[in-house]
Structure 1
């Protein structure tokens, strides 16, 4: 009997490797179950709120980078909850992908409702200007401008003919150019007492202090700096845009871990493998692009109810952590730099 008692005590005080592994596995499983339950509850909240969106006007929504990933998920959610009765424009380079996405939208029944694709290589500012000019000529108002563009093919710097790195062009400069050009149509929507919202998906709350001696990352360059700097650039410039346009809503969103096919376009084998590994490890806590689309739409619709600047978390709720407010001097300095970078091509022989 004493030997049995000793064995029992030993199993508690000196657990075997199998017992430790089983305990850790049980804890991880319990954590994942609770996490999934919370996510399911948050998703139901988002879907329910999105379903109640019923404006008295025909909404006009532009999805820049909507041919895949989060942009696709949000465009699909927007089409679904408006029952197709909206003017939806997907901007990007992949016509086949866009037309496939649009073909699955609910067929519109309201007058003026339509769904279309507009081609634009968003790495070049001259292309963006041509596209926005064309849009402004036929769109008197725009209610929602959603931007989620990204272009990562290699680890190193890839300068365009305009002297801007491709990654920075899609993550920051091109987004700014598109927003700044489309302001007249957004202001018209606000003047009509309609939603007038700019929604930028990148990494709200995850940026680092701007390196003012290396704007545009032309002195030193690496993929980590791109992420940290462009996030803070977006925070700062959208605050300046909100200050200049107090009747509009400007939102910067953090989408969290989302399963997309972004790695397919990466030419760098090490970078592609690294991204795939990260996505594999994050799979239990990540979400599909369709789920992210519901959350991002929820964030866009709810935050658009109030003009000004705000940040949204991965579940579409207003972000309260990692608060960052740029100074007037910082906003002005970045504004001047950004205007110069996005306009420099006009003085080039391209």
Structure 2
């Protein structure tokens, strides 16, 4: 049989596995993950910040965190949709003791670094520590490079720059949690292991922007970001996650007519291999809670995926860091 047919059979087998066996495997592990997450019983009142927590994966992780802490946590949701945030917060379990425990929302369009800096400053005035910083903002678009007035592409702002700035600005509070002997962890949910070679001569893709290039660069930027933070702050935990296919609202709320139309085809067609934000929230929380100090990468069930498909280097980390410091600098903010 020609090798072509072996390749075809391989693809068919992979699709059958994804459609039937993988969902069963993942569902069978959910009970164990749920039990593990329920074992998170800190002796302190944790503070958790969820950037992009008003829908999709961010909402799923925030709800899982609130559920397993029984509402006994200071939870801050950062996003644009006030009504959605309030609805989510109202469904959180009510804390046993209300003194010092708040579930709150801070409105922010995180495509603007000025907004991010204003919000991080506000958070630092509200809490003395941050135990968990979870970042999941995203966008589905077919547009080319779409710059804000700050000169940053909106897609990259959501998928990388804002995440770097939230982490960098909140480091004092995250270190505060560690100094108190508590959990101090950062999670960026992007596409760990799904990137490719990046152009160090065009970081930010101002000259070579394309949908392919941005999809390839953002996961690697997140890898390099989390790895560099872990080298600068080795006592902390920095996690980059690949959540797998999830039924989020991104396609239905896209600015692209084609993507919105495709949502009505893709979701029913691939429903067996896509998982709800609730499922994914449990798995991402599991991976976060069980990650140890340093730089970690986790897969769709929260498992440690090691350095598979890693495209970084010491040079790339250094150049990206220097580039990002310049790109995210906010002048003349009071």
Alignment TM-score, normalising by the size of structure 1: 0.87
Aligned partners of 2:195 and 2:309 also within 8 Å: no
1:251 to 226, 239, 243: 239
Equivalent residue, structure 2, for 1:83: 70
**1:35 Cα deviation after fit:** 3.0
In structure 1, how many angstroms separate the alpha carbons of the residues matched to 2:172 and 2:16? 51
Q: Give CA-to-partner distance per residue, 1:39-72, whole Å, 9 cap, x none.
A: 2221111101001100010010000000000000
2:121 to 133, 136, 157: 133
Residue 23 of structure 2 contacts residue 272 of structure 2 at CA under 8 Å; is this kept in 1?
A: no
Q: Does 1:122 align with 2:110?
A: yes
Q: RMSD of the TM alignment (CA)?
A: 2.1
Change (3 A) 1:292 1:347: same
Note the alpha carbon deviations across 1:161-193, whole angstroms, 9 max, x for none: 101011110110011011100000000101111
Secondary structure of 1:56's partner? Answer: coil
Equivalent residue for 2:269, pick from 281, 290, 303? 281
Could you tell me which of 300, 324, 327 is aligned with 1:338? 324
Q: Give the whole-Å Cα distance in 2 for the aligned partners of 1:31 and 1:122.
A: 34
Q: Is the 8 A contact 2:195 2:311 kept in 1?
A: no
Which residue is equivalent to 1:56? 43
Q: Which has the higher helix share?
A: 1
Residue 347 and residue 287 in structure 1: after superposition, are their counterparts in 2 closer, same or farther (change >3 A)? Answer: same
Is residue 2:172 matched to residue 1:187? no
Q: Which runs of 4+ in 1 moved over 6 A?
A: 27-31
Give the one of 206, 211, 228 matched to 1:218.
Answer: 206
Aligned residues: 321
Distance 2:213 2:279 in 1: 29
Alignment correspondent of 2:310: 324
Partners of 2:20 and 2:272 within 8 A in 1 = no
Structure 1: gaps spanning 5 or more residues: 1-24
Cα pair 1:63 1:75 within 8 Å, conserved: yes
Once residues 125 and 186 of structure 1 are traced to their aligned partners in structure 2, the CA distance between those partners, rounded to angstroms, is: 20
Contact 1:200 1:253 in 2 (8 A): yes
**1:322 deviation in Å?**
1.6
Query: What is the SS of the residue equivalent to 2:148?
Result: coil
For 1:295 and 1:186, the matched residues in 2 are separated by 23
The match for 1:103 is: 90
1:149 correspondence with 2:134 = no
Matching residue of 2:4 = none
1:29 deviation in Å? 7.5
Unpaired runs of 5+ residues, structure 2, are 1-11
Is the Cα–Cα contact under 8 Å of residues 198 and 217 in structure 2 kept in the other structure? yes
For the residues of structure 2 that align with 1:194 and 1:30, how far apart are their CA atoms? 41
Rounded to whole Å, the distance in 1 between the matches of 2:117 and 2:262 is 35
Verify the 8 A CA contact 1:239 1:326 in the aligned structure 2.
no
Aligned to 2:6: none
Point out the structure with max Rg over C-alpha: 1
Query: Does the alignment pair 1:71 with 2:49?
Result: no
Structure 1 distance, partners of 2:167, 2:259, is: 30
